[in-house]
Structure 1
Amino acid sequence: MAETYDTPVLIIGGGPVGFATALDLAWRGCESMIVEREADGTQEFRAKATGLDERSMEQLRRWGLHDQVLEVGFPVDFPFDTVYCTSLTGYPMGRSLNPSIREEIPPVGSSEKRYACPQWELDKLLVESATASGLVEVRWNSAYGKITQDADGVTTEIIDAATGESSTIRSKYVVASDGAGSAVRRSLGIPFEGPQLDFSLNITIRIPKLELPEELARAQRYLLIDEDGTWGVLTHIDGREIWRLTVVGAQDELDADTYDHMATVRRALGSGDIPFEVIRCVPWRRSQSVAATYRQGRVFLAGDSAHTMSPTGGHGLNTGLGDVSDLGWILEAALSGWGGKGLLDAYERERRPIGLRNGRKATGHYRQWVDSSNYVGVTQEGPEGDVTRKRVGDMLVEALKSEWHSPGTALGFRYEGSPIIVDDGTPEPADDPIDYVPTARPGHRAPHVALSDGSSILALFGHGFVLLRIGAADLDTSAFESAGAAAGVPLRVEKLDEPAVAEMYERKLVLVRPDGHVAWRGDVMPDDAAGVIDVVRGAAATGGS
C-alpha cells in the first residue's frame, strides 16, 4: 500500500526564499506546505533587502509578479545614485551615477532591468500569490522541532508557538529556508563555514520630508565617512520616506536597547533640525558563510540557511532566488518520477559554488567601504579639505563600480562542472562582475533575444525541457523527442528561423532546462540522444532512474 504524505514538500521558514520556493513549485503544479514560527510574516516591517537584479526580475515575470513589483517598488523616475559624504547636510565627496528605472537600459542578453522594492512589499506579494495558487498550505506560529529521515521520506516535528503542543508532518522532501541561524542546519550538524566580518546595527527611520542641497539630493544611498573611513550608510528603502541607517565596523555585538540610536541618526543627518521617527533598531552579524553541504538526504538548504554574505552589492536575496530557480525544477522532476538518482546531488554541485562566488564579491565591496587608510582630512574646512574630499570621492567611485552596477554577477554565473550539463568543449569565459557577455554555452543561463513577434525567447522556457531548432529545417530531432518520451521527461521542440537567435545561440540545436539554463548544444544530433537525456535528468551517473 502506498504511503500517505501530509505534503510532498515541506518548507521550513516563511521568508522571501521560502515563499518563492512554494510559488515556484506551485507554478510547476506541485503542492507544498510552509511552516513559519511567526504569527504572520507579512506583518513585520522588514527594511532589509531591496535590490532585485535582472535575473530575479526575470523570475518574477515568470511567476506573474513583475508588474505588481513595479507598482509597489521605487518610483520609476528615482535615481539609484550613491553619494559619498560626511553627512546628509555635510561635505559631499563624490557621486556614483546610476540611472532610474525609466532611464535604465537592460543589458544585452536580458529583457529586464534591475529594480528596488521594499522587502515587506515583496513578502506580501509572494505570500498572496503562493496562497492564491491553491497548492500551498501555510502554518503560521509553527516552530521547527526536529527531523527524522528514512528511505521513503521525512518526518518533521513542529511545535505550536502559542500552545507548545507538538505535531508531526510527513513529506517526501524538506527545504530549509529558515535563515542564517537555521535551526534545521544546526540540528543536522552541517557546518557553516566562513569568516565573521563585523557586527552591524540597522536603524529604520521615517523622514516625512527631506530637502537637501542639490549636490546631495536625490540618491538611493549615502556612504557616511569621517577621518577613520566609512562608519555608516543611509539607504532609501522605498524611494519615499522610509530609510535604513546601517552602522558598520563594530567588532563587538551592539545592544539595541542601550545604543544611542537617536544621536547616531542625527549624526548621519548632520542636523538636529530634520524631523524623523525611529521605527525599529536591529543588531545583526555581518558574515561570509556557506554551508558545508546544501543537502543531507531528503533535506535541502536554500537562501540564508545555505549562505550568508555582506549586503554590499545586494547579492544575498538574489542568490537565494537563484537557489529557488534551480531547486524548483529538480524537486518537480523528483516528484514526477522522471528525475534520476543523481539529479538531487546536482543542486549542491551547481549552487554552492555560486554562494561562494557571490559571498567573495560582497566581502570585497565591504572591505573597500571600511578601509581606514587615506581618509585623514575629509572633515577639514577650506581648500585642503576640498582636495582630500575629491580624492576620496574619486577613489570610491572607481573602487565601487562593480557594487552599484553588476550585471555580470547577476547574469554571468554558470554551472561549470555540473553532472547534469553536457560540456561542449568551448573555453569558459571570464566571470566579470560588470561586463556581462551573453552566451548559450552549456551551463550558462540561456540569454534573452527579442523574437520577431516582440516577445522574449525567455518566455519559451520554464515548463519542461525545450529543444531549440534554430534555422535547421533539415535536422531530424525525433531521436531526442523519443528519448524524452521514453524517460517521461517533458520536452518540446521550438522551431525558430530568426537570425538574431542564430547569432546569439551559435548552434543549430540548443537544449534548455526548465530553469532556463543550457544543458546541451550542437550543430548536429548527438550519436546517443537517449544518453544526453539521461545526463540532463540526472540518470547517467547512477545507471538509471
Structure 2
Amino acid sequence: MHDVVIVGAGPVGLFLACELGRAGCSVLVLEREPESRSPFKGKLLGTRGLSAASTEAFHRRGMLHQLRTASGGHGDPGADAEAAREPASLRGVGHFAGIRIDPDRVDATALPYRLPGQAMDGMLTHLEAVETLLAEQASRLGVEIRHGVTVSALSRHEQSAVAYAGEHAYPARWVVGCDGGRSTVRGLADFAFVGTEPQFTGYTMQATAADAEKLGPGINLTPTGMYLRLLEGHIAMVDFDGGAFDRSQQLTRDHLQAVLRRVSGTDVTLSEVHLASSFTDRAMQTTTYRQGRVLLAGDAAHIHSPLGGQGLNTGIGDAMNLGWKLAATVHGHAPDGLLDSYTRERRPIGAKVLDWSRAQVAIMRPDPHCQAIQGVIRDLIGTRDGATYVAGRLSGASIRYDLGSEHPWVGRSAPDFRLENGTRLSDLMRDGRGVALDFSADRCLRDAAKGWESRMRYAAGPAENDLGLGAVLVRPDGVVALAGERTPDREAFEQTAGQWFGAPDS
C-alpha cells in the first residue's frame, strides 16, 4: 500500500508528488493519458504564465533555474544573481479582461511584503516544460508514475482509500484527485460542485491565415468579444454564446473562421487549421477540498475561465499548501486539524479567483452597459493605484491566509530574506522543512528550535534587510507563522511551532 495515490500527472499532481516524495512519503501517480507529450502542451498552445507566487514556489524547491532554461528563458546564474539586486518590479504582470497592465505604473513600494530576488517576477513557460521538469524531479525522489491508467471506481475506508482502474486496485492511505476540471475522483467521491454557468465559448488554435495582417497583434477587445493573435499562428477568441458550442460540435475550419470574423469585425480567411480546442468561463468550486481520505487540488477543486492566467497558479498554490500538511499526517506528527486547514486556507483563495474571472467576463460582454463599465475599469487600471492593485492580485503578492494573528506579516508569503553570510531563505527551504530565522541570534530561540530539528531549520545572523523584524518562523510552504519586531519569547515560539509542526521531537 502506498502512502498517497495521486490521480492526474499534470503540473499540480506532479508538484504535489514532488512535495510528498521530498518528505519521504511513498507516492504513486496514475495518469489516464498513455504518454505525457501533446501538441496542446508545447510552446504554442501550451503557453502559460506563472505568477510571482508560482515562480517563488519553484525557487524555494531549487527548480526555478531549470524551469527558466526549459522554458526558453535565460539560464545564466550570473544574470539571475544580477536580477536579484534589482529593485522589485513585478514586470510582465499581465492583463485584466484584456486590458494590459503597464508595469511602469506599478508601485512596488506599495507591496511591502516582498524583497528583490530571483523569483520576484512572473514568467512565461509551457506545460510540456513544467511537466517534464516535475516528472524528472518526482522520479528522482522515488515517486512512481504510471501512464495509461484510467481510474473508474473509488472506495473509501476509515484508514485507507482505494482507486480502481478496471480489475486493478491501487490502495493507499490517502487519494488525491488532481485530474482536472472534469475530475473523475471528484465525481466518484461525491464532492459538491457549485458555481455559475458559462457566458461564452472560447477557442484557442494554431492556424494559418491568408491575410493575418487584418488581425491586430496581441489582445484585442471588440464590441462583439475578444481575440488574441500571437506569433506562429496562435489565435484565441471569445464568443458570447452562453457556452453553447463548447464540446458540442466538431471544430471545423468554417466554424472557427465564422467566429473569428464575427469577433474581429474583419473578413479574415483561415486557409488551414492545424490544432484547435474550446473552453468556457464556467466557474465552479467544491464546497470542501477533503472528503475523509480523499482530497482534491487544482482544477479538480475549482474551474473558471483562463482569463488572467490564474488556473495553473492557483493549482500550484494548492499543491504547495497541501503537500507538507499531508506528509506530516502520513508520518504521524501532524497536530490536530492541520489537514483540515488545507480547505480552510485554500478554498477562500479559489473563491476569490473565481470572482476575479467572473468580473472580467462581466465587463467583456458585448453589451453597452458592460462596455461602459469596461471604460471605467480601463481608466482606473491606467492609474498608479489601479495598476498596483491589479498587479498585487495577479502576482499573488496580496494573498494572505487568516492564521488568527493581527500581525501584518503573519499569513503572508515570507520575503526571500538574505543573511549577511549570503544565505537566502529560499536556500534553506529546498528540503521542504520549515525555517526559524533569528536575526538577533538569540540563544533562547536557538535552543527552543532544537525540539523540531527534523521538521524545521534554524538559521541565525543579521540580514541585509530584516524589514524591521527580529525573528520569523516560516512554514514549509513559505508562509509566515510567527513574526516579531524583536525576538519572540520562547513560550510564543513553542506554542506556534506546536500549532503547525506538532509535538517536538523530544
Calculate the TM-score normalised by the size of structure 2. Answer: 0.80
User: For the structure 1 residues 351 and 393, does the alpha-carbon distance in structure 2 shift closer, same or farther, using more than 3 Å as the test?
Assistant: closer
Q: Residue 68 of structure 1: which of 48, 53, 66 is its match?
A: 66
Q: Pick 1 or 2: higher relative contact order, CA cutoff 8 A, min separation 6.
A: 2
Q: C-alpha deviations, 1:12-61, integer Å up to 9, x for none?
A: 01222111211222333433111111111322424256110001111222
Are the counterparts in 2 of residues 312 and 363 from structure 1 also a CA contact under 8 Å? Answer: no
What amino acid maps onto 1:127 in structure 2? A
1:497 equivalent to 2:495? Answer no
Deviation at 1:450, TM superposition (A): 4.0
Distance 1:65 1:459 in 2: 11
**Matches of 1:326 and 1:494, distance apart in 2:** 23
Aligned to 2:428: 460
Q: Which residue of 2 aligns with 1:481?
A: 449
8 A contact 2:183–2:300 mirrored in 1: yes
SS at match of 1:340: coil
* 1:198 alignment partner, SS class: coil
| 1:106 positional shift | 13
Amino acid at match of 1:282: S
Most deviating of 108-117 and 269-278:
269-278
Q: Distance in 2 between matches of 1:401 and 1:106?
A: 11
Partner of 1:120: 128
Which whole-Å CA distance do the structure 2 matches of 1:13 and 1:106 have between them?
A: 39
Aligned length, in residue pairs: 470
Looking at structure 2, the residues matched to 63 and 287 of structure 1 have their Cα atoms a distance apart, in angstroms, of: 33
* Cα distance change of structure 1 residues 180 and 479 upon mapping to structure 2, 3 Å threshold: same
Please name the residue that 1:469 is paired with: 438
1:223–1:273 distance in 2 versus 1, CA, 3 Å? closer
Task: For residue 325 of structure 1, report the CA deviation from its aligned partner.
Answer: 0.5
Contact map agreement 2:203 2:236 (CA 8 A) in 1 = yes
Structure 2 residue runs of 5 or longer lacking an equivalent are 75-90
* Paired AA for residue 413 in structure 1: I
Query: How far is 1:484 from its partner?
Result: 2.5
Q: Select 1:109's aligned residue among 115, 126, 130.
A: 115
Q: What percent of counterpart residues are identical?
A: 25
Q: What is the SS of the residue equivalent to 1:155?
A: strand
Aligned CA distance change for structure 1 residues 527 and 415 (closer, same or farther; 3 Å): same
- Partner amino acid for 1:248? D
Name the counterpart of 1:15.
10
| 2:410 maps to 1:442 | yes
Q: Does 1:137 align with 2:155?
A: no
- The one-letter amino acid paired with 2:444 is D
Q: Which residue of 1 aligns with 2:488?
A: 524
1:364 partner SS = helix
Q: Distance in 1 between matches of 2:493 and 2:94?
A: 50
Q: Contact 2:96–2:360 (CA<8 Å) still a contact in 1? A: no
For 1:533, the equivalent position in structure 2 comes to 497
CA spacing shift, 1:59–1:529, aligned 2, 3 Å:
closer
In 2, Cα distance between equivalents of 1:416 and 1:29: 29
Q: In 2, Cα distance between the equivalents of 1:74 and 1:272?
A: 35
Q: Which of the pair has more CA radius of gyration?
A: 1
Instruction: Deviation per CA, 1:243-302: give whole Å up to 9, x if none.
Output: 241323221420441661133345667766777642333233322221111011121100
State which drifts further: 316-325 or 119-128. Answer: 119-128
Residue 250 of structure 1, aligned match among 241, 246, 268? 241
Q: How does 1:7-406 map to 2 (within 5 A)?
A: 7-46=2-41, 47=45, 50-73=48-71, 97-98=102-103, 108-109=114-115, 111=117, 112=119, 113-131=121-139, 133-159=140-166, 166-206=167-207, 221-226=218-223, 229=224, 231-234=225-228, 236=230, 240-254=231-245, 255-257=248-250, 260-265=255-260, 277-370=272-365, 372-373=367-368, 395=379, 398=382, 401=387, 405-406=391-392
Q: What residue is the counterpart of 1:433 in the other structure?
A: none
Distance (Å, rounded) in 2 between the aligned partners of 1:106 and 1:321: 25
Q: 2 CA distance for matches of 1:281 and 1:396?
A: 35
Change (3 A) 1:538 1:248: farther
Q: Which amino acid aligns with 2:239?
A: V
Of 394-403 and 334-343, the range deviating more from structure 2: 394-403
Residue 401 of structure 2: which of 405, 415, 422 is its match? 415
> Equivalents in 1 of 2:204, 2:406: separation in Å?
51
- Residues 286-324 of structure 1: CA deviation (Å, up to 9, x unaligned): 222211110111211000111112222211110100001
Aligned CA-pair RMSD: 3.8
Structure 2 distance, partners of 1:472, 1:81, is 41
Q: In 1, Cα distance between the equivalents of 2:422 and 2:257?
A: 52
Contact 1:480 1:533 survives alignment (8 Å): no
Amino acid at match of 2:48: T
CA contact (8 A) 1:49 1:118 kept: yes
Q: Secondary structure at the match of 1:117?
A: strand
Once residues 139 and 106 of structure 1 are traced to their aligned partners in structure 2, the CA distance between those partners, rounded to angstroms, is 46
Q: Match of 1:444, SS?
A: coil
Amino acid corresponding to residue 435 of structure 2 in structure 1:
V
User: Structure 1 or 2: larger helix share?
Assistant: 2
Counterpart residue number, 1:508: 470
SS in 1 for 2:325: helix
- Answer yes or no: is the 8 Å Cα contact 2:420–2:462 preserved in 1: no
The one-letter code matched in structure 2 to 1:465 is G
Structure 2 counterpart of 1:144, which letter? Answer: V
- Amino acid paired to 1:481: A
Match of 1:380 in 2: none
User: What are the superposed Cα offsets for residues 388-409 of structure 1, whole Å, 9 maximum, x if unpaired?
Assistant: 9x97995596499579734565
Structure 2 distance, partners of 1:206, 1:106, is 42
Query: Aligned to 1:19, what secondary structure does the other structure show?
Result: helix
What's the offset of the Cα at 1:508?
A: 2.0
Secondary structure, counterpart of 1:38 in structure 2: coil
**How much has 1:448 moved relative to structure 2?**
2.4
What TM-score results when the alignment is normalised by the length of structure 1?
0.75
Distance 1:521 1:52, change over 3 A: same
- Output the CA distance in 2 between the equivalents of 1:66 and 1:242: 29
Amino acid at match of 1:246: M
Cα distance, 1:75 vs. partner? 6.3
Name the structure 1 match of 2:83: none
- Structure 1, unmatched stretches of 5+, are 86-93, 160-165, 377-387, 418-422, 429-440
One-letter amino acid of the counterpart of residue 233, structure 1: Y
Q: What is the CA distance between 1:176 and its match in structure 2?
A: 0.4
